[in-house]
Amino acid sequence: MPRINGDRLWADIVTTARFGGTDKGGVTRLTLTEEDRQVRDWFVGECRSLGCTIDVDGIGNIFATYPGEDPSMPPIAVGSHLDTQPQGGRFDGVLGVLAGVELIRTLKETGTVLRHGLTVVNWTNEEGSRFSPAMMGSGVFSGASCLEAIEALTDRDGTTVKTALETIGYRGEIPVGHVGFAAYVELHIEQGPLLEAAATEIGIVTGVQGVRWFDVSITGTEAHAGSTPMAQRDDALVAASEIVLAVRDIARRHSPGVGTTGFATVGPNSRNVVPGTVQLQIDMRHPSEAGLSQMQAALEQAVAAIDAEIGLKHIWSKQPVVFEPATVEAVRASAEALSYSATEVVSGAGHDAAHIAGICPTAMIFVPSKDGLSHNEAEYSSPEECARGTDVLLQTVLQIDLK
């Protein structure tokens, strides 16, 4: 059975971490920035050197296809994303793309010919840290989002997605959704503590929990911090604090759901001024749609009970996803064939695979994350863990190719 070269894969992880690398060993590579252009150019160059054709669609998704024996068959796709969070890690998303490059190298050097082509995909803006929503490229590709509407979205500086794509030279000519896949398999770090805690080598991902995002605006009255009596204050930050605690308590009551208030701005943000405005961004997740609806209803009730002027807006949703059983079984069989310990997990984080599952058979493979850390400069999966996951990915592709 062909096996990947773990040292070569690790060298690529080290190389790509230089594009937007931070002093603490992490990466800041927001989507459609100069750093993103640099890593995209590296990816395209590597794949071209291996004999791949390169397609870029209108939302900037990159498709590097290594030819198979039968060009009439749709390709098997693997991949993930090259963008990161601010002060993010070297592995989140990147591992799935680099693993695809390593698969092509392994096929080429071992003379292994697939019936299907093999397409390695870099999806645009999976993270959603510069432009919202997250999983943007795969969302447009799968039909969950409209290209024209997405192109018009702006970042905090007012730059549109369309302009950002054009600036880095990755607003492609290929129509979005131009190609179908026989299947899609995404390798990713777990971004949680379960595999490491169980000393398990591979996570067989059966699905992705649902997500709902909310924006909150709180309006109070700015006033002097020294001369305004406590009983007469209309403090927007105090009301915001009640919401933050409500999000935490709602998630605890709706286990295994989770809730996070991950962004806040305070105006005027001065030590001696009672805050007059606060903006919050809330992320709620649950494996079931019913659980998500219960959490949203509880949030709406909690906001309504706070004595303040509050605007709550539900801005984005992604329903829970169950992956196609036969593709999940191919992952399981591949882990068993390689004698790796494995267990089923539901992904707590959103992934491009959640969108692609709506248009073709899809599965995911997880490898452990040290201390469960992700979206963090200390994020780490060992060379051995990355290699195991990539070997499972290769064997999964080979199994799918035989069907």
Domains of the chain: 6-209+320-402 (3.40.630.10), 210-318 (3.30.70.360)
DSSP 8-state code for residue 221: -
Does residue 190 have a known ligand-binding role? no
**Rounded mean pLDDT, 70-77:** 97
Q: Residue for token digits 């924006």?
A: 215
| DSSP character string of 141-160 | HHTSS-HHHHHT-B-TTS-B
Main-chain dihedrals φ then ψ at residue 224, nearest 5 degrees: -70, 130
- Residues ≥6 apart with Cβ < 8 Å to 65: 52, 53, 54, 55, 75, 117, 118, 119, 120
User: pLDDT averaged over the chain?
Assistant: 97
Assign 106 to helix, strand or coil.
Answer: helix
pLDDT tens digits for range 138-183? 999 999 999 999 999 999 999 999 999 999 999 999 999 988 999 9
Q: Residue 350's pLDDT is what?
A: 85
Cα three-residue angle 120-126-127, rounded to 5 degrees: 140
CA distance 62 to 54: 7
Does residue 92 have a known ligand-binding role? yes
State the pLDDT confidence band at 403, using cuts at 50, 70 and 90: confident
pLDDT tens digits for range 377-391? 999 999 999 999 999
Does residue 355 have a known ligand-binding role? no
Does residue 375 have a known ligand-binding role? yes
- Residues ≥6 apart with Cβ < 8 Å to 361: 182, 183, 184, 324, 326, 327
Sign of the torsion formed by the C-alpha atoms of 345, 9, 100 and 85: positive
Does residue 116 have a known ligand-binding role? no
Of 150, 36, 161, the residue nearest 93 (C-alpha): 36
Q: 403 is written with which tokens? A: 């069907």
State the pLDDT confidence band at 99, using cuts at 50, 70 and 90: very high
Q: What predicted TM-score, i.e. pTM, was given to this entire model?
A: 0.86
Q: Residue for token digits 């706070």?
A: 306
The pLDDT of residue 97 is above 90: yes
